[in-house]
Amino acid sequence: MSHPNAGHANESYRFVQLSDLHLSSIDRPNPLQLCNKRILGYLSWLKRRRFTHQEWILDRAISALHDLAVDYHLVTGDLTHIGLKQEFTQCRRWLNKLGTGADTLVIPGNHDLYVDSTWQDSFAAWQDLMLDDVGLVSQLKQKTAAGKLDQMYPQVRVRQQVVFIALCSVFPAPWLRATGRINQQQLMRLKFVLNDPALADHCKVLLIHHPITITHTRKRKSLLNHADVCALLKHSPVDLVVHGHGHTRTLEYLACEDGRNTPIVGMASSSSTSAHELQRAEFKLFDVRRGHHNWHISMQSYQFDSTAEQFKPAEVCVVSELV
């Protein structure tokens, strides 16, 4: 079944991506919380980020989404600024406006794991929005540090003809770095998922915070083992890759061994106040429809118009054609 208020075709599945929300406030933090790398992030927030990202813009996105008959919501990381416990709580209040654990999937960004932290002081606030359909609650409770988060991934959710495969590319990176990685154990588990016969007839959508290419990414912010990830996806393709991190609208393609070209979609921050054409606040709307031999995937960017103070649709782009 599609969303009960769906205005789109029954044979299609519609989902939305938001990213890099940075929607929390960190007024008056405990000084002890800043005795590490967080001090740099806090100073950045004081000087720039608290003006660059605005929650009221995200609320305008919520208003726009109500009219779009969305079946599912994806949030591809960086909801917080420096990953403080109070930030996770603040973000959860906004996430409750977006959807429930049944129709929303959140993955972590590097700002959410700014430094190592306990699970209870961080991602526990979003737990139902991050776990797969089976639920790994008991395993997660055994983890003492959020820095071990990548051991829990990939997370897989199946919704109608679409399977969402979530990766964790974040770790407590060194000072002045915002790099990511997918460790070898997670890559091995991903390979198993991608070759699972039970998922062969589904449209595979891969979520990752860091881009899997380095075309638009500075080295200090890149995915360290991007070549390993691309090699796996060339051999065991997915139908779509969506990511955040770069705060810029991008569309690239990965040439795969079976002849297909996998679209790789990056997006601007959904809360950005930037007037730059490629960095204006946006959310992306995807429609997936089954073809005879492949999937038809269309994408439409809804970009924030600062004059009208609302999100307006751009032209629809077909990122994966029927063949």
pLDDT tens for 116-142 read: 998 899 999 999 999 887 755 444 544
| Residue 1 included in any domain | no
CA 39 to mean position of chain CA atoms: 25
- Start-to-end CA span in the chain (Å): 26
Q: Write the DSSP symbol of residue 173.
A: P
The pLDDT tens digits of the residues spanning 277-318 come to: 999 999 999 999 987 778 999 999 999 999 999 999 999 999
pLDDT of residue 26 exceeding 50: yes
Residues 43-63, buried b or exposed e (16+ Cβ, 10 A)? eebeeebbebbbbebbebbee
Average pLDDT over residues 195-203: 94
| Residue 3 included in any domain | no
Dist CA 8 CA 149 (whole Å): 36
Domain around 93: 12-320
Q: Quick one: tokens of 262? A: 């996998």
| Residue 7 included in any domain | no
| Residue 193 included in any domain | yes
This prediction has a pTM of 0.93
Dist CA 321 CA 102 (whole Å): 29
pLDDT-based confidence at residue 31 (cuts at 50, 70, 90): confident
Hunting for tokens 């959410």 — which residue is that?
Answer: 112
Average pLDDT over residues 181-204: 95
Q: What is the pLDDT of residue 8?
A: 60
pLDDT-based confidence at residue 5 (cuts at 50, 70, 90): very low
Give the three-class secondary structure for 297: strand
Q: What is the pLDDT of residue 135?
A: 58
Alpha helices in the chain (DSSP H): 38-44, 50-52, 55-65, 85-98, 127-130, 137-141, 184-194, 226-235
The pLDDT tens digits of the residues spanning 249-283 come to: 999 999 999 999 999 999 999 999 999 999 999 99
Domain count, the chain: 1
| Residue 45 included in any domain | yes
Dist CA 13 CA 3 (whole Å): 9
pLDDT-based confidence at residue 9 (cuts at 50, 70, 90): low
Q: Quick one: tokens of 158? A: 């199946």
Average pLDDT over residues 170-183: 94
The pLDDT tens digits of the residues spanning 53-102 come to: 999 999 999 999 999 999 999 999 999 999 999 999 999 999 999 999 99
pLDDT-based confidence at residue 240 (cuts at 50, 70, 90): very high
226-235 vs 184-194: helix axis angle to the nearest 10? Answer: 20
Dist CA 311 CA 295 (whole Å): 28
| Residue 115 included in any domain | yes
pLDDT-based confidence at residue 1 (cuts at 50, 70, 90): very low
Q: What is the CATH number of the domain that holds 262?
A: 3.60.21.10
